[in-house]
């Protein structure tokens, strides 16, 4: 609970200077064959319905939003993930930078002595190397990873290539670490990756993606192909 109060204060502080600006609201909804977060299925390999809302405050670069998905963590686990986030986007020369904080909330979780709710601060730089190709990175940090596993870092390198207004390809390679030894089946870290393409037609985005990790013989970490349909509003 203390972590969530800190998170709420940070979001409020990030958005406060921009409340007087014009607010633009957008939304999104999607259906996916599997919800995978950093390579790990959150829906036990089953489909998920997801959606959220975002608010941007004029030209200030300040934004806030929320997003939710059904999940399946098994007996005693949560069946809902609710994310709340806020941040600030700005340019430093040719580099676009996004800094903020995100909270991952599991309202129906029993927790059972290890709270699932946690928050992360992040910084995500990106640069357009050509009109078609964008290279980016991300660093996330939490002082208490989900399940109370201690400090957690997530590092990522990603890229996107736009073929046409309708077709684009993207991919990422990441590394998740935590402060608890051996928690990831004998290790305190694991690598994840994804690559896929998105085709836009009829006002919808159709995404086909290959997702995986370097953890062997654990079903939740298995490589998988995920198909998603998304509508932005």
pLDDT at 5: 46
> How far is residue 233's CA from residue 226's CA, in Å, rounded to a whole number?
23
Q: pLDDT digit string (tens) for 20-49? A: 558 999 999 999 999 999 999 999 999 999
Q: Which of 124, 141, 202 is nearest to 3 (CA)?
A: 141
pLDDT at 9: 47
| CB burial of residue 24 (10 Å; 0-12, 13-18, 19+) | exposed
| CB burial of residue 165 (10 Å; 0-12, 13-18, 19+) | exposed
pLDDT at 19: 52
pLDDT at 102: 98
Q: Are 51 and 66 in contact (CB under 8 A)?
A: no
Q: Domain-by-domain residue ranges, the chain?
A: 2-232
Q: Are 129 and 117 in contact (CB under 8 A)?
A: no
Fold of 2-232: Porin (2.40.160)
Q: pLDDT digit string (tens) for 147-164? A: 899 999 999 999 999 999
pLDDT at 78: 80
- Six token digits for residue 53: 């809302």
Predicted TM-score (pTM) of the model is: 0.89
């Amino acid at each position: 609970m203390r972590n969530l109060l800190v998170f709420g204060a940070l979001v409020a502080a990030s958005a406060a200077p921009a409340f007087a600006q014009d607010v633009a609201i957008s939304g999104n909804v999607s259906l996916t064959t599997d919800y995978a977060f950093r390579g790990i299925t959150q829906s036990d390999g089953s489909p998920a319905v997801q959606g959220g809302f975002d608010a941007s405050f004029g030209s200030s670069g300040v934004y806030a939003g929320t997003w939710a998905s059904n999940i399946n963590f098994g007996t005693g686990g949560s069946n809902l993930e609710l994310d709340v986030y806020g941040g600030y986007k700005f340019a430093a020369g040719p580099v676009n930078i996004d800094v903020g904080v995100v909270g991952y909330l599991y309202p129906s979780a029993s927790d059972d002595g290890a709270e699932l709710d946690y928050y992360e601060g992040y910084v995500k730089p990106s640069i357009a190397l050509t009109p078609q190709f964008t290279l980016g990175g991300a660093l996330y940090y939490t002082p208490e990873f989900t399940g109370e596993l201690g400090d957690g870092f997530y590092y990522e390198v990603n890229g996107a290539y736009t073929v046409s207004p309708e077709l684009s390809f993207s991919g990422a390679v990441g590394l998740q670490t935590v402060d608890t030894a051996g928690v990831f089946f004998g290790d305190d870290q694991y690598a994840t990756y994804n690559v896929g393409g998105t085709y836009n037609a009829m006002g919808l985005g159709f995404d086909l993606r290959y997702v995986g990790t370097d953890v062997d013989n654990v079903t939740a970490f298995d490589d998988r192909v995920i198909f998603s349909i998304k509508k932005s509003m």
